[in-house]
A and B are shown apart, each in its own frame.
Chain A
Amino acid sequence: MTGRLAPAAAVTAAAAVPLLGRDYYATLMLPFFGYSIALLGLNLLFGTTGLLSFGHALFLAVGGYTAAYLGSTLGVRSLEAMLAVALVVAAVIAVPVGWLCVRYVKIYFGMLTLAFGMLFYSFLYKFYALTGGDEGMPVARPSLLGQGFGELDKTAYLIGPYYYYSLALCLVAAVVMWRIVRSPLGLSLRAIRENADKAEYVGVRVRRYRFYAFVIAAVFGAAGGVLLVVPTGLAAPTLAYWTHSGNLVFMLLLGGFGHFFGPVVGAFVFIFLQDQVMSVTQYWRFVFGAVLAAVVIFLPHGLMGLLARRADA
């Protein structure tokens, strides 16, 4: 029962946040939705398939820049169009990148994804004419389901229609990923994670399925990237920087990559913890380093692992 109640309660709580009158916290929830979607995808690659990417921020940047380019350069206003194009662009980029990366596993896979992430970062940084270089690209306020919401100021737009749009998209992404994880592909991927050699002998096309997981993760990453840049109004090259990929991995570890909702919990705690710590000290990275070390040592299964243990007891 608690298995269904907890997510339902979480969604209700998330839906209630803008009604509380604390606009600041509502705006903090916006990156949470974007990161949740991206991490659900990344966790298909890591938690389910056993491949740890250190370059996944690449795909968040692909999403962010696609939205920015469509909005600023081509004058596209529809967020649905931005999302659709971003998913396609991410898939197109993930095909060659994934095809190369899944030939390797473990640290080699991690390093190769890191390399591609940095390659893309350099591209964003240097191709000024196309990407705006270090200044990035502005992201115009998109319309949602054909509605411009011109009468709302920026904050009202973000914590109103955009907030619920993001929440809905996050729910859709979670449902889709829930199905993927419980599908035949999901089982095949878990078999690969558990024992890739054995999986081959029972007929699993290991490399191909890893590739599928990579592309799916990329598409989720891009969707998350689109949602991230709208509130900030900017797609900057740091989206693709390796520390951003590192943050994604941190969130997975924090929440617990062994649990379906681990990535979502990780994103939530990361964002709110970062906000709190940054307001207290400029040495927030120092605190985060300590938190990461503590999580790895004391909570190897993340916060969800702790909750699951409590539930079992």
Chain B
Amino acid sequence: MTPLLEARDVVKRYGDVQALSGVTMALRGGEFVSIIGPNGAGKTTLVNVLTGLLRPTSGRVVFKGRDVAGVGPVRLAALGMARSFQLVNVFPALTVAETLAVPALARLGRGARPFASLARDAEVADSVAEVAELFGLAEKLPRLARTLPQGDKKLLDVASAFALRPEVILMDEPTSGVSTRDKTAIMETLVQAARRIGVKGIIQVEHDMDIVFAYSDRIVALHQGRVLADATPDAIRADDEVVATVLGRPR
């Protein structure tokens, strides 16, 4: 099966620093892939390249058969790719409902209408209500994003990416800054929302190995800008080199 999203021999250099030294990886339909690796392994750079924010120094990024290297987030969103961020990334003075309406408008191609009434757009309202429901934010629609607790801000960030109804979603540490107890709850919400919305593939960067091993179909281990291993969770557990360099302790 042709992959949904593919990085082919991607190199990214910042001056003398080589952040990615020839990374090849793929995401196929129906897969949940986790990218792991120690700090500085190039995980976030890889996500930034895959989401079109950074143009690779060389190599290709192919999404649904198209070269999308460096095309930028807006084009990728239109093609069906969305991302969420490691650090909480919301619109502080917009309400939850408004935050979810922005991607709905963009998806429907209505974001630039200067005279249409937003309040009367039933399609946008339905999309907002549906996504809010999926993420347990339905009760908080009128609240300003900045007044939400940290966990809800994180959910809102991810929810706004889901509101684009993407085929592929990349999540940079979706559970960072969240208590261990809440992590599983958030992951369950994400996976269910992905199923309901019809997301075909998920890539996440994650440090919490319990989460990684519990949810991944495949794990890509990065080390010093290279792919150290690309295998199923069981195979990764059995890989001594990955265990030694990435996991840091025998599991």
Contacts and interface: CB of A to CB of B under 8 A. Distances in A.
Interface of A: 176, 179-180, 182-188, 190-191, 194-195, 197-206, 208-209, 212, 216
B91 A190 contact: yes
B111 A180 contact: no
B92 A195 contact: yes
Contacts of A200: 72-74
B93 A182 contact: no
Nearest to B89: A198
Contact of B77 (A187, A203, A208, A209): A203
Contacts of A216: 114
B227 interface: no
A180 B116 CA distance: 8
A180 B118 CA distance: 10
Given A198-B89, A202-B103, A203-B106, A179 B115 contact: yes
A184 B73 CA distance: 20
Given A184-B105, A188-B102, A201 B161 contact: yes
B98 to A, nearest CB: 6
Given A185-B113, A186-B118, A209-B111, 9 more contacts: A180-B115, A182-B117, A183-B114, A183-B116, A184-B111, A195-B90, A198-B85, A198-B160, A208-B112
B236 interface: no
Contact of B93 (A194, A202, A212): A194
Nearest to A179: B115
Contact of B111 (A182, A194, A198, A204): A204
17 contacts: A182-B118, A183-B113, A184-B111, A185-B112, A185-B113, A187-B111, A187-B118, A191-B102, A198-B160, A201-B77, A201-B82, A202-B102, A202-B163, A203-B74, A203-B77, A203-B107, A212-B114
A102 to B, nearest CB: 14
Nearest to B121: A184
A184 B72 CA distance: 22
B114 A187 contact: no
Contacts of B77: 201-203
B231 interface: no
Interface in B85-129: 85, 89-94, 98-99, 101-103, 105-107, 110-119, 121, 124
Contact of B92 (A180, A187, A194): A194
A300 to B, nearest CB: 14
B111 to A, nearest CB: 5
